[in-house]
Structure formats: C-alpha cells, structure tokens
Structure 1
Amino acid sequence: MKKKMISFASLGIVCATFFLSCESNNQAAEEQLDAALETPAKIISNAKAATLFNNDQQTRLSQIGKANTRFEDKAIHFDLATLESYIKRLETLATSRNLPITGASFVFGADANGKRTVFLMPSTRNADLDYQESFTIENGQFLTFKHVDPSLKPQNNSQNDENLVLSPNGYVSFNESVVMFNNYQAQYIQPFAKKVTKDYYTKAVWYSLDELKGYIHYLKRKSHKHNLAITGIDVFFGAYNNDPSLELKSNAQTVFLAASTQQQTIVNVTGKSLQSLTQEDLFAKNDENVNESLAYNMGQLSPPPPRG
C-alpha cells in the first residue's frame, strides 16, 4: 500500500514538473511573441544611438565651432503626458475639420542664445513637392511652414489660439516658431554649408501619428515591466555616417528619441544612460539587440532634395 502511495506521489511530482515546465515554456513563448508584436519597427540599438550622437558632435558641432556644447544642452525634453495630449489634439482636429493630417514633424530650431531645440508641428503631404509639410492654424487661417525655404517670414498678426505648435516649454505661435527656425538656419545650416556642399540640409524629421503613439506605448510598457519610471522623451540631434549606401541619408542631420526619467536619459531596460554610453571608448559596438533598447530613429527627413 505504501509503495502504491509512493508511486502515485512520484507520478504527481513528475506531472507537476511537466505541467510547470510546459507552462513556463508557453509563458516564455508568449512573452517573446508579445515583445515581437509590441516592439516598434524604428527602435534602434544602443550602438546606433551612440553613433548618431557622436557623429553629430564630430561632423556638426565640432565643424562649426560649437564643440564645447554641454550634454545637458543637447537633451530636448518633452513630457510623456503632454505628448499624448498633443497627439490626441491632432487626431481630434483631423476628424472635426476633415484635415488630412499625416503625422507630426520635429522641426529644427535654435533660441536667441544659439541653443538648438525642436518643436512639433502637424504635417500633411505636399503632393507637388512630395514631402511632409508642416502647418498650423491661427486666426482661422491655415499657415504652411515650408521647410524647403531658407528662411520664413513672420505674419503681421500671430497668436497662439489653436495650440498646434508644441515646443519643449509649451505651445508657441507661428511667429515664435519662425524665429527659432530662422535662428537654426543662420547658426547651424549656413556655417555647415560653407564646409560641406549638399543638395539639401535637413530641417525637420517626420513621424506618423501611429508611429509616435506606438513608441509612447512601448515606453510605458517597458517602464511598467522594468520599473523604470519613464516620464518623458528626450530628443537628440544625430548625424548619419558618410556612407554612400545610405543614399539621401548619407551624412545627413537627423534626430533620435530616447526615454527620459526625472534624472536622466536612458537607452535600455537596465537603465543605462545615454551620457555614460557615449563617454565609453568602446560603446557596445556589438550591441544590436533592439528588443531591450529604448531609442527610436529612422524618421522621414525633410525637406527633400530639389527636383532636377
């Protein structure tokens, strides 16, 4: 009798172990599938984020006499909740006014002291020029923000009555954004253009609304899973390698996005900071694991090169 009881008990242990093993394997498979479905396509590795950051320092800032720019002045911070509210605003506007809003562009700017910044504007596709053109609405007037122009003219009367241009410090008017745009042209594009001749110089980077929402969802999910306390997104200027295979993106200015806590910019789920990553001599050159990365890139550069 005791032998039978022991046999049944042993069988129970074996079965329990088997089912626990199956459950563990299924859970691992589900988590892997979930990660594959939830990871945005434009997430980039830590190595690529660091390369973009360092390229900007070497091929842009160092070339135009701004090599001593502090790391703190390179992080352009947007609050996560504010970004979510902004995207909802654009979606509501698209529906209520039947506007073909395709996404939002991070438009390049600089303040009066020469510090670089970006501001967000809704965009719609310009079919004639074949690019995503930013716009805003003021005093009931639809105002385009043409990145193809070397500089823009302010309006006679500009007021922030629709809240469609989002800067790191809050919503700004058309004229305020024009000043920042023209400052960037004068302080960053013109000095660089004297050294490097290109068909065009990037002045904005575009993402669809779904891409931005997907990235925010991804960060919130990773923040909850890994207890990261992500509160915002930091935008950094970057530059692509001078590689002919990149075609139009070769040696082009861009921006990339990274997760932000209240203390620092982090680039992966272990809480690795971008600053520490870029200060290392050999920064994770073989790190191509995007599933643990929190950096985002590969937006559409604007304006396009002129047509021949």
Structure 2
Amino acid sequence: MKNPPAKPSQLITREFAQQLNLNYNNKKSDNITAKSAEKEDANAIWYSIEELEKYIHYVKTAGIEDGYAVDGIRFYFGVYPDDEKHGEKAGLTTLFLVPTGKKIKPKNAKIQSFALVEQEDETMDIQSLQPMNYGNIGRPPSLLY
C-alpha cells in the first residue's frame, strides 16, 4: 500500500472492547430485559460505512453553509417513545449522532471573507443540522462483542 492511512489515536484493544461490552451488558441487563417481557433491548447499533460517510459529508457541507467548522460527531443514547407509532422499536434503546463544531465569525466585521475567520473557543452541538438515527440494533444475547 503506497500511502497507508494513519491509525487513529483513540484505538483500543479488542480485549478492552470486549470488557467494555461485557460491563455494559452486565450493568444494564436488568434495564435491557425489564423494558418489555416480549422484547429484548439493543446492546449494539450498526451503521453502514456508506451512511456514515454520507452523514459526515452532509454535516461538513451544511455546517459551512450555517457558519460552523464541524469538528466531530457526538453519539447520544436515547429511548424511543413507548407508542404505536414506533412499532417494534417503542421503548427500546437507540443511538443517534449529532455534529459538533465551532461557530465561524469574521475577524473584521467589515470584511465578510471566509478566508479571514476565527473560530469561537467552545465546541458545541450544532443545533441547525439534523441528527442521524435509525441504525440497525443488535439484540442480546445474540450479539456480544
């Protein structure tokens, strides 16, 4: 491979990942099985690379249009409303993605050029961009890391 990609700095070992998953399943198992006697809750969420790449492209492009320098994605846990509208997902765990970034502002208010920008210090959730949800869930005990 000519230009191998740089390894991300936040990689963990497979063994540590297994321990984290085991800890989650052990600590959350009462909540996971107690939500509904006939339904098992998610212990994993899957998104395709293609959908993640589309989302990253969307937030970077739309972020610039909204005046943000997108710098990351925050992953939030959620629970679907317990109503008929959400069908088999009602009352179950989900994971949704929210872009984060810093607001871009002109260095000089008279010059409206993107070439001359400075960013605010604080990274925040970008409320003007849509979060992403609806990954495929893994149901215990069939899916363990």
Instruction: With the length of structure 1 as denominator, give the TM-score of the two structures.
Output: 0.35
State the identity %.
Answer: 25
Larger relative helix fraction: 1
Q: How does 1:32-51 map to 2 (within 5 A)?
A: none
Question: Counterparts of 2:141 and 2:18 in 1: how far apart (Å)?
Answer: 21
Paired position in structure 1 for 2:107? none
How do 1:94-109 and structure 2 match up within 5 A?
none
Question: What are the ranges of 5 or more consecutive residues in structure 2 without an aligned counterpart?
Answer: 102-121
Q: What is the deviation of 1:257?
A: 0.4
2:132 aligned residue: 296
Match of 1:277 in 2: none
Instruction: Find the counterpart in structure 1 of residue 123 from structure 2.
Output: 263
Could you tell me how far 1:304 is from its partner in structure 2?
A: 8.0
Cα root mean square deviation, aligned? 2.6
Q: Tell me the SS of whatever aligns to 2:94.
A: strand
Q: In 2, distance between residues paired with 1:304 and 1:214?
A: 29
Structure 1 residue runs without a partner (length 5+): 1-87, 90-162, 269-292
Q: Give the alignment of 1:184-199 within 5 angstroms.
A: 184-194=24-34, 196-199=36-39
Q: Are the equivalent residues in 1 in contact too, given 2:32–2:40 (CA < 8 A)?
A: no
The answer to whether the Cα contact below 8 Å between 2:63 and 2:69 also exists between their aligned partners in 1 is yes
Instruction: Work out which of the residue numbers 168, 171, 176 in structure 1 matches 2:16.
Output: 176
Q: What's the secondary structure of 2:70's corresponding residue?
A: coil
Runs of 4+ residues deviating >3 angstroms? none
How has the CA–CA distance of structure 1 residues 219 and 189 changed in structure 2, closer, same or farther, with 3 Å as cutoff?
same
Q: In the alignment, residue 171 of structure 1 is paired with which amino acid? A: L
Counterpart position of 2:49: 209
The whole-number CA distance in structure 2 between the counterparts of 1:181 and 1:305 is 12
Larger Cα Rg: Structure 1 or Structure 2? Answer: 1
CA shift for structure 1 position 244: 3.0
Give the TM-score taking structure 2 as reference length. Answer: 0.69
The answer to whether the 8 A contact 1:199-1:305 is kept is no
